[in-house]
Amino acid sequence: MITREGWIRFGVVAALVAAFEAACRFGFIPRTVVIAPTEMVVSLWRLIESGEYNDDILSTLRNVLASSLLAVGLGFMTGVLIHALPRLRAAIEPLLASYYAIPTFMFYPVFIVVFGVGDRAIIAIAVLLSIVAMITSTLTGLDRIPRVLRKTARIYRMNLPARALLIDLPAAAPYLFTGIKLSFAYAFIGVIASEFILSGAGIGYSIAYTYNNFNNRNMYGLMLLVILVATIANTALDMIDRRLQTRLRR
Amino acid sequence: MAFAPAGNASSPPPGEGVVHARLTGVSRFFDLPSGAKLHALGPIDLDIKRGEFFGVVGPSGCGKSTLLDVLAGLISPTDGEVWFEDKRVTDVPDGVGVVFQEDAAFPWLTVRDNVAFGLRRAGFDAAETKRRVDYAVGFMGLNDFAGTYPAQLSGGMRQRVCIARTLVLQPRLILLDEPFGALDQQTRLLMGDELLRLWRETNATVLLITHALDEAAMLSDRVGVMSARPGTFIDFVETKWPRERDSRIVSDPRFGGITARLWEKLRVESLKIMGTQAGHK
């Protein structure tokens, strides 16, 4: 069910798009700068229909998926490890907290040297960008497991693996899922941005390529595609996230 | 149908009068971050008889919850020994159920799955699990909420879920740490009645920690009064209530006498605590 706020939000976005459309159609914005939103939709439809960019789209999605999975898996394991070592944690927690103040992206030359131009360098940057979100979410999740649930596990005479699987993991799940959501978002940004500079394929690369060749129509079609994919993925993850959060409320 | 397969609700359980749980010379110290040691509890010598409803009252911070943790095998005593059913307690023993003061319902499971949790872990078959869960959910008045998640329930309801979850396993010793602390007075009295009904049906031994003197006086066969920290027992009050009883005994002429005696002892201890707190200011 859509809430009243949901309708208002939809109305605001629709009005902005309509105003933008009008500005383009009546020539307030020159076509050489931006094409009208409806033209973007037509362009996106054509380039999907033609299959011209299929390989690039698949390459990007594959890299986003690989980066997210790596970031979530490695981030979770690192989080569990750091949580188990309180002294190490106290030492490196300030570093984790200020991690996103550093523009990780500037290290791209290092990755090109190490991995060469291609998927591996892209995935490395995307993982680097997204892993810390998963580490901090894992730490938060493990911190927030109520002590009484651990005591309850002992009353049920559960051993460590059973407790980890049946108590700790579900108790921390809502926080872990927030980490998954953030990791995906960062991985998506990391992959698209990396493709601009260190790739010969992918949606990011194609946007740069069409830009350099004055192919406005395709460029905006591809941009619309990125927005749609990000929005749909985020909405889906958000729905699961919200469901988990309401259960957590105590 | 009942929690326990055998037993007549109104007659005392078999083996009554035999020591069920025993603490001898139990003390517990905690290490403080400053390096000093905090003497939280003891020395305590205590025998709880099989089928007894034993209440514990004491000023706040006197080590009541520590006593429960030691008895449940959750923490080991610094000195002394804990025995349950003729076995030395070194870890959580089989047959002990605990209802904690804090909300311990699993938020990711429905009420039904919460209640069934221990049964499934213990390997009960689906039919027996269903039978016991149905009974406990009904007994605790949770029928209308069986499919809901704890987040949708009030604090009192969640505590009922925890009680039901403990009871389905038919523990022989039930430890309750201020289980009704979050409830209003009327609900407390009614929950007390349900607890008594349950105690009669299961023939379990019960240790109830509470800060409400009337609750201790109404529910218990015997009430132990604890001193200010380090907590020791300074008095035991036998209530001599019939086994078949409920909250209506609060109007019994003897009820006032029992609570008065409890308060007389407790007042001195509570004043000590207030005195030390005032001294810190």
Say yes or no for a CB contact (<8 Å) between B108 and A170: yes
- Given pLDDT bands bounded at 50, 70 and 90, which one contains residue B258? confident
Each residue's pLDDT tens digit, B106-161: 999 999 999 999 999 888 899 999 999 998 898 888 889 989 999 888 888 888 89
Domains and CATH numbers, chain A: 51-249 (1.10.3720.10)
Which residue, among A130, A112, A150, A120, has the nearest Cα to A71 in the 3D structure?
A130
Please answer yes or no on whether B151 and A246 come within 8 Å at the CB atom.
yes
Contacts of B71 (CB under 8 A, 6+ apart): B21, B23, B82, B84, B89, B175, B207
List chain B residues with CB under 8 Å of A173. 108
The residue of A175, A247, A248, A249 whose CB has the most chain B CBs within 10 angstroms, and thus the best one to mutate to test that interface, is A247
Closest Cβ opposite residue B98 in set A155, A170, A246: A155
The band of B271, judged by pLDDT with boundaries at 50, 70 and 90, is: confident
Nearest to B108 among A147, A151, A173 (CB): A173
Interfacial A residues in 62-101 facing B (CB < 8 Å) = none
State which H helix or E strand residue B161 sits in: helix B155-167
Which residues in chain B are contacts of A150 at CB distance < 8 A?
none
User: Which of B71, B56, B95, B100 has its CA nearest to residue B219?
Assistant: B56
For A163, name the nearest residue in chain B, comparing CA atoms only.
Answer: B121
State the Cα–Cα distance between residues A228 and A234, nearest whole angstrom: 10
CA distance B229 to A60: 65
Min distance A113 CA to chain B CA atoms (Å): 47
pLDDT above 60 (res B233): yes
Rounded to a whole number of angstroms, the distance from the CA of A199 to the nearest CA of chain B is 44
Chain B: residue nearest A243 by CA?
A: B108
Burial of A115 (0-12, 13-18, 19+ CB in 10 A): middle
Supply the pLDDT for residue B278: 53
3-class secondary structure for chain A?
CCCHHHHHHHHHHHHHHHHHHHHHHCCCCCCCCCCCHHHHHHHHHHHHHHCCCHHHHHHHHHHHHHHHHHHHHHHHHHHHHHHHCHHHHHHHHHHHHCHHHCCHHHHHHHHHHHHCCCHHHHHHHHHHHHHHHHHHHHHHHHHCCCHHHHHHHHHCCCCHHHHHHHHHHHHHHHHHHHHHHHHHHHHHHHHHHHHHHHCCCCHHHHHHHHHHCCCHHHHHHHHHHHHHHHHHHHHHHHHHHHHHHHHHCC
Give the pLDDT score at B155.
Answer: 82
Mutation site for B-interface testing, chosen from A148, A155, A168 by largest number of B Cβ within 10 Å: A155
- Mean pLDDT value across residues B24-44: 87
Q: How many Cβ atoms are within 10 Å of B154's Cβ, its own excluded?
A: 12
- Measured CA distances, B99 to A72, B29, B87, B104, B149 (Å): 36, 24, 22, 8, 19
8 Å CB contact of B102 and A248 = no
| pLDDT score of B9 more than 50 | no
Nearest chain B residue to A157 by CA distance is B92
Q: Tell me, what's the pLDDT at A229? A: 92
Dist CA A105 CA A212 (whole Å): 22
Provide, as residue numbers in chain A, all residues whose Cβ is less than 8 Å from the Cβ of B150. Answer: 250
Between the two ends of chain B, the Cα-to-Cα distance in Å is 57
The 10 Å Cβ neighbour count of residue B51 is 24
- Is there a contact between A126 and A74 (Cβ–Cβ < 8 Å)? no
Distance CA B189, CA B156 (A): 13
Report strand pairing: B19-31 vs B37-49.
antiparallel
**pLDDT attached to residue A200:** 81
In 3D space, the residue among B126, B208, B124 whose CA is nearest the CA of residue B163 turns out to be B208
pLDDT value of position A138? 96
Q: Which residues on B lie below 8 Å from A151 (Cβ)?
A: 74, 98, 100, 104
Of B91, B104, B150, which has the smallest distance from its Cβ to A152's Cβ? B104
Q: Each residue's pLDDT tens digit in chain A (250 positions)?
A: 678 888 999 999 999 999 999 999 998 888 888 889 999 999 999 999 998 898 999 999 999 999 999 999 999 999 999 999 999 999 999 998 888 888 888 888 888 888 888 888 899 999 999 999 999 999 999 999 999 999 999 999 898 999 999 999 999 998 999 999 999 999 999 999 999 887 788 899 999 999 999 888 899 999 999 999 999 998 999 888 888 877 765 4
Predicted pLDDT of residue B276:
64
d(CA A239, CA A120): 31
Tell me: ipTM over 0.90.
Answer: no
Q: On the CB side of A31, how many CA atoms lie within 13 Å of its CA?
A: 7
- For residues B7 and B201, the answer to whether their CB atoms sit within 8 Å is yes
User: Each residue of B69-118: pLDDT tens digit?
Assistant: 999 999 989 998 888 888 888 888 988 999 998 889 999 999 999 999 99
Order of strands across the sheet with B19-31? B37-49, B19-31, B79-84, B87-88
Q: Name the pLDDT band for B2 (thresholds 50, 70, 90).
A: low
Under 8 Å between Cβ of A123 and A67: yes
Mutate to test the interface with B, among A145, A157, A240 (most CBs of B within 10 A): A157
Alpha carbon of A131: minimum distance to chain B alpha carbons (Å): 26
Q: Work out the pLDDT band at B240, boundaries 50, 70, 90.
A: confident
3-state class (DSSP) for residue B134: helix
Instruction: Say what the pLDDT of residue B7 is.
Output: 42
